Chains A and B, each alone.
Chain A
Amino acid sequence: MAGDKGRVMVDGLTKTFGSVRAVDGLSFAVEPGSITGFLGPNGAGKTTTLRMLLGLVTPDAGSATISGRPYAALTAPSDEVGAALEATGFHPARSGRAHLSVYCRINGYSRRRADEVLEAVGLTEAARRPVGGYSLGMRQRLALAAALLGDPPVLVLDEPANGLDPEGIAWLRGLLRDLAARGCTVLVSSHVLSEVQQLVDRVVIVNNGRLVRQGSLAELSAEHATVLVRTPQVGQFRAALEQAGARTVSAGRDGVRVLGMDATEVGDRAFAAGVRLHALVSQASDLERVFLALTSDDPAPAAAEKGVA
């Protein structure tokens, strides 16, 4: 299983709570050494998926492995996977350092390691204060510190940016970039694409417990690029393009927006159909809007076109 080192595989995961199917046949893979954004609106099943991946929740069907093995079968899980989950608890009367110290003891790490990770997340000054007095941002940092304790090759972070101020988010980006540069596999969930857009190489997008898309940001962006055309023969142009398999949407009096075809082909098709073009502009996609379209329960095109003049 050496080839699976650091790879996260989710295969057909399914979980139902009462009458709610939280996760529905979800499959995706996270490649070693990459930062992957695990995206979806609140309630999409992200946390449940991560908890199943980490052996905290038993799936109804499917499996999840890290480095080729289920979490519970890892010999020294804290050495192999660091996890910071949403709503991870801390005993309010215990200091941040005491919390980490317990897990140093359990995992056989030296106590110095607790101080090192506290420094890495900027909590040295608050280390000896009870966690009960920590802000949400400080708790997030402490959860991250706990994930880093074993210096693991795989990190699973659930909404780590929640509760961080913009400065904290910038700091988090820097930290995760450093880790990825050292070959760490990072899976980071978020309900806001823009929060992780500058950080992730790949995205796994889920909605209603199902996979909506996975791929690199560049692919996603290219796929949702549009071509804006101005033509006096709108009807003829749209008919020709629709016939060729593109999707067209009206954009103003003499404008048409073309989805799913690149500018070169749009121009060629128009020429072949004898349609005069007054403008032909390739437009990069706004990823946030793509994300919203993909995860909205309305049909995608309508949502994607809102706000286009």
Chain B
Amino acid sequence: MARLIAGEFEKLLSTRLWLWLLLGSAGLTALYASLTIVNADNPDTWVYPLSTGAGQRTLFSVGQGAGSLVAVLGAIGLTSEFRHRTATATFLATPRRSRVVAAKLVTFPLLGAAYGLVCVVVTIAIALPWLSTKNIDVSLVAHGIPGTLAGVIAGATLFGLVGVGIGALLRDQVGAVVVLLVYLFVAEPILTRVEAFNAWTPYLPGPAASALTQVSLTNQDFLAPWQGGLVLAGYGLALALAGARLTIRRDVM
């Protein structure tokens, strides 16, 4: 299994996709961090003042946007085997296909963790100097900020599972990426704004990821961080299991 995982990393690092998506994640994080700081000066804003713990937690949670890109990376990582027909070589080397899915379920969350870490570093690198020019004193170990930062990394990690899972279930690259993006950026924001659904929206993937940082831009209830983590991991593993059982074993022509 260790060799399989090493092989997956080598596949991933031998093309540039990981780099573009990492730059995208870091760029988005930098943009969100800047917008949060700029907006916090506006009295009518949704952001709590940055002198408060709540405001600082919001600022330090902006890296959670990287999760969706990690999911995209995981979905592409799995489906490119079928799109570029490397599945033939992959399954010739590893005829037990569930092991291939398992290796990717390890590889992409590890990569997601690295993405999360980079986003955390970017946030800190922007926030600390900028806030000090505003004479706001920030301690990275106060106000629950370590938990927020850990939540960003955990979310990026677990979205790796979700991406691989959706890729395994759909096998089709365009389909998997479109489903993922439409769900995360269209369907879920609508669902979470419908009051009638309030009882179960915390169990959706996005709110479950927000539970990890306990920060969201919408007014909704969260699960506890550990519950959110379990729910998000559950989605990824359930999708991957369904994929391994239903679609991955299909004929490779």
Question: Measuring CB to CB, which residues of chain A are less than 8 angstroms from any residue of chain B?
Answer: 47-48, 51, 54-58, 71-72, 74, 77-78, 83, 85, 87-95, 98-99, 101-103, 105-108, 146
Contacts and interface: CB of A to CB of B under 8 A. Distances in A.
Contacts of A106: 3-4, 6-7, 93-94
Interface of B: 3-4, 6-7, 10-11, 14-16, 80, 84-89, 91-96, 249, 251-253
A93 B88 contact: no
Contact of B92 (A47, A54, A98, A105): A54
Contact of A57 (B4, B80, B85, B253): B253
Contacts of A78: 92-93
Given A55-B91, A85-B88, A88-B89, A95 B252 contact: no
Contacts of A90: 84, 86
B86 A89 contact: yes
Contacts of A88: 85, 88-89
Contacts of B86: 89-91
A153 to B, nearest CB: 16
Contact of A72 (B14, B85, B96): B96
Contacts of A47: 253
A105 B6 contact: yes
A95 B14 contact: yes
Contacts of A146: 89
Contacts of B16: 93
A91 B88 CA distance: 12
B7 A105 contact: yes
Contacts of B253: 47-48, 51, 56-57, 87
A91 B95 contact: no
Most chain-A Cβ atoms within 10 A of its Cβ — which of B11, B92, B249? Answer: B92
Contacts of B91: 55-56
A260 B7 CA distance: 57
